[in-house]
Amino acid sequence: MSEALARPQELPPLCERDFVLATDLDGTFLGGSEADRQRLYRSIERLRDRIGLIFVTGRDPEFIAHLCDGTDVPWPDYAIGDVGTTIAQIYPVATDPVRPIQLLEDDIAARWANKGDAVRRALDGHPGLTLQSTEFRYRVSYDMNPASYCASAEDKVAGLGLDSLISDKRFFDVLPAGVSKGPSITRLIRHLGIASDRVLVAGDTLNDLSMLLTGMKGVAVGGSEAALIDQVRGNSNVYLANTSGAGGIIEAIADFSLFPVSEGDPHAV
């Protein structure tokens, strides 16, 4: 377990740090070459008093805890999980390191209105959708087979007053109306009093689109889903990286001049 985040109170609050990275995991923060990942991870750990880290992922809190415990992946300060339906602070040394922030989740819970069972009934046996085994608090998720998928699923979800989201042409998520990565990272940034011009959001699939359209500086890393690139191309706030994963994040940090980028400078990424 990293010593850098032994206790959150030992570090300055994110609003006092020079730069905050809010990043998707699979294909983004966890993607790219080993050299680029190590460069980014080590820089973040070395400069934790100046760099804040927020995971914004479709993964559940249990995955986040297992990912960071005893590995070289830095613990985040906060995490937005479950495609925006979990907003939590991170306590690495605790037995329950991912702790939802109730103040920020009350609206999410109200929008969901305990409709999980209704969603599962409505989509039971629907062509092209296979229910995922993991149960989430405020979402229902399916693996999607695009060859057999029938788009009427979206109408069924809308009829329940909920939103549907397809990403990477293989995942189908049912979410509370108006809730996704973008609204949740915006809510957290405001809650923490972080200046939005010091934040970089990073992603690679359509479930990152709402995050990249928040108006904050963003990066679609190299190898991103083509449909995501089509949606953000021409947006001056979104950098289209050439390098995949962590290397694309490093590219964007330099392009936006968010933090010094120099391998020879101990105070740079």
Exposure letters 41-74 (e unless 16+ CB within 10 A, then b): bebbbebbeebbbbbbbbbbbebbbebbeeeebb
Among 63, 70, 72, 77, CA closest to 25: 63
Mean pLDDT for all residues in the chain: 93
Q: pLDDT tens digits for 148-157?
A: 999 999 999 9
In this predicted structure, the answer to whether residue 68 has a pLDDT above a threshold of 70 is yes
Q: pLDDT tens digits for 208-259?
A: 999 999 999 999 999 999 999 999 999 999 999 999 999 999 999 999 999 8
In this predicted structure, the answer to whether residue 93 has a pLDDT above a threshold of 90 is no
**Per-residue pLDDT band at 39 (split at 50, 70, 90):** very high
In this predicted structure, the answer to whether residue 71 has a pLDDT above a threshold of 70 is yes
pLDDT of residue 5: 44
pLDDT of residue 70: 86
